[in-house]
Amino acid sequence: MVQQLKASRSGTKGHMTRSIGLINGYANKVMNQQEANSLEVLEGKLKGLYETYVIASRDILEKLRASKATQEELDEEQTITLQTQDERQTTVNALPGNKSSVQSSRQSSNQASQAQMAQLIAQIVAAIPAPPAPVINVTAAPAPASAVQSIRLPQRQIKHFRGDVLEWTQFWESFNAAVHSSSLSNVQKFDYLKEYLKGEAYLLVNNLELTDANYQVAIDELKRMYGKTDVLIDAHFEKLDALQPVKDGNDVPALRSFQLNLQSHISALETLGVPTSSS
């Protein structure tokens, strides 16, 4: 079944490659209306092919998991999907912004309208009377420097999440603090969420339209896949089973590394409520 899915996806990838080649032929070219229409058709075709490719990739991953595929096989599958995702995104980013001379004239008209609007706003602002100057009490003691200095917080960096269960908690806590708990609209939050997801995690929510309601749907789906306690527990036990014993008892760095890895998983399991003591 997996091989059939891969063969079907390979055919879809071939059609995508041909569409990308045709689209790239329009790069750096001022087009007439007919050429702009042809490019729009190609863009729509590429989008449909990519959605079909994403669905096939997601099905292949599910089949591989069900068949107890190795982590190497899963990583290879995710790499293939990421390469196609990057190839398609590169093509989309390189699309000519000026698709036709008709669009150029419309842009010029819009710019003229914007200039007139800016001039009107400037006139209105100029007509607003200035507020009275504040009365300064020269006898008042100056405020301490600590009261007027603002604190510059470090810019928060969110690491991309690719579907590793053991990285979910760290990703969600960072995303929650920087984006989810902010005053942004749900559509804006969803846009940021898709930007920080890669690989398998991106495929999980990619087909959801960028709407206010679908943002919560995406969050719920990600938590169902990666945030459940039993899923995290299983992932830690798999890592413990995969730990390689140290062959040389005199290899202190290797022993130390083994101990730290072992202890980190044990501590995580204790946090998840799993008893790790035999007493």
The predicted-structure confidence for 62-120, as pLDDT tens digits, reads as follows 888 888 888 878 778 878 888 887 777 777 666 655 444 444 444 444 455 455 555 55
Average of per-residue pLDDT across 7-18: 84
**Largest Cα–Cα distance of the chain, in whole Å?**
85
Residue type, 21: G
Provide the mean pLDDT of the chain.
75
Query: In this predicted structure, what is the pLDDT of residue 214?
Result: 93
Reading the block at residue 153, the tokens are 């917080």
- Residue 43: how many other CB atoms lie within 10 Å: 17
Scan for tokens 């730290």, then name that residue. Answer: 260
Between these two residues, 42 and 201, which has the higher pLDDT value? Answer: 201
- The beta strand positions in the chain, using DSSP E, are none
Rounded Cα–Cα distance for residues 63 and 254 (Å): 36
- Residue burial 164-202, b: 16+ Cβ < 10 Å; e: rest: ebebbeebbebbeeebbeeeeebeebbebbbebbbbbbb
Rounded Cα–Cα distance for residues 157 and 151 (Å): 18
Rounded Cα–Cα distance for residues 79 and 90 (Å): 16
Q: Is the pLDDT of residue 147 over 70?
A: no
> With 0-12 CB in 10 A as exposed, 13-18 as middle and 19+ as buried, what is 7?
exposed
Assess contact for 246 and 180: CB atoms under 8 A. no
Reading the block at residue 42, the tokens are 């190609």
Q: Is the pLDDT of residue 13 over 80?
A: yes
Say what the alpha-carbon torsion angle 195, 196, 201, 202 is, to the nearest 10 degrees: 10
Reading the block at residue 23, the tokens are 């689209």
Query: In this predicted structure, what is the pLDDT of residue 222?
Result: 93
